[in-house]
Amino acid sequence: MDKNKLRGDAKRLIENHLLGIDPDAESFIDILSDDQRSIPIRAIFKHIDTFSKKPFSSDERALVDELMYLYG
């Protein structure tokens, strides 16, 4: 999968699960917007676990698996 697509998908994951409830959500989005920085996937998932009660869709679960494989 293309790294830019992964960054966009990770951004959507943050928007769906953290934006509006996690004070660090905007910071994560800023990090994802910078191609020179690595994706802080473990921190993102820790925040999702802490702040979000919304379950992952099947597509989001596949994305989580891919992101953990590549960046975790």
**What's the CA dihedral at 23, 30, 38, 58 to 10 degrees?**
70
pLDDT (average), residues 18-33: 96
Domain that holds residue 39: 3-71
What is the per-residue pLDDT across 26-64, written as a single tens digit (0 to 9) for each?
999 999 999 999 999 999 999 999 999 999 999 999 999
> Percent helix, strand and coil across the chain, each rounded to 5?
70, 0, 30
Total count of domains within the chain:
1
pLDDT at 14 over 90: yes
Residue 1: pLDDT band (50, 70, 90) is low
Give pLDDT, residue 3: 85
Give pLDDT, residue 2: 84
